Structure 1
């Protein structure tokens, strides 16, 4: 038997870390694990991305607009973290930690996210190419605006698999043992 290579060791580490974190976060935010609440988080994240896009566009016209980026990031972090926790981080989970159906759902979400990201990246590319041709590269905030546009589109693409899975997954099945442990203790086991 050959010794595992670097990639295999890293994948094994990712699986161990994912399973340990899943166990740690399993009971966090129980009221937010319903489909309705997950969809509210996805909507909040989409609004945050729209605000990021608005700040990036405002940077083209104003030199003080980059100061608005920090409050939007402060808004982004708790929404994204909450969504990742309540969705079980299925969007970026290692495939070895998922069952076949979850892997299929993850691959589908990732494929959609990649296609959307490729199209979204055309926005900063077109802005930078057309803007540099029209201004001869003399516009003072063009590079910063292009950078924020690119960062926003990449963040959208990175979050999309989790957003898609959180939006589309049904409510979790209620656990009868967790809801009524006294009934489970009285029920005889069937052979």
Structure 2
């Protein structure tokens, strides 16, 4: 890698860090009662439940033509819960290194590693039945069902680092809070 490439990456990382800190300053006071570990865990469970609902809708869409109608409302619910979880977790799962301390970077990297494993496993679990079904049955709903299975698998992997961090991150110590945050 030459010097100009590394300068571009360095500038981009600085830009990402600056934007993250600015956005964090805007959202740090949103949903204050949801920032406890107990509530974050509730949100993580709710996100997981909506992913299960999306998977059920996907599987059922293979057999029933009307089931895909349930996909948009379930997706809307997922997006609301996912946004809430990201907000109350401080978006640490996708934060740039420059915005986190060493412990947070370590936790984020471990959660991302698990997320990658989940992504690989769930996408593989979605694709193998599709390969088998595409050679054994002639079903016009297979393309939609397969795409929605795979999308659900990807969402599970994408969401898992934030869900893990929301689950394991302890509540802030009241002594660490500034008067402004109280």
Query: TM-score w.r.t. structure 1 length?
Result: 0.87
Distance 1:100 1:158 in 2: 22
Distance 1:171 1:57 in 2: 38
CA shift for structure 1 position 8: 2.6
2:27 maps to 25
Distance 1:177 1:151 in 2: 41
What is the count of residue pairs matched by the alignment?
Answer: 177
2:16 maps to 14
CA shift for structure 1 position 9: 2.5
5+ residue gaps, structure 2, are none
2:179 maps to 178
Distance 2:178 2:146 in 1: 53
User: What is the CA deviation profile of residues 49-106 of structure 1, one whole-angstrom value per residue up to 9, with x for unaligned ones?
Assistant: 0100011001100111111100101111111111101100000101121111111000
SS at match of 2:163: helix
Q: 2:107 aligns with which of 105, 108, 121?
A: 105
* Pair 1:49 & 2:51 matched: yes
1:187 maps to none
Is contact 2:118–2:156 with CA below 8 Å preserved after alignment? no
Distance 2:133 2:155 in 1: 23
Distance 2:69 2:14 in 1: 41
Distance 1:13 1:148 in 2: 34
Distance 1:30 1:99 in 2: 22
5+ residue gaps, structure 1, are 182-191
CA shift for structure 1 position 177: 5.0
Query: TM-score w.r.t. structure 2 length?
Result: 0.92
1:148 maps to 148
Distance 1:8 1:60 in 2: 47
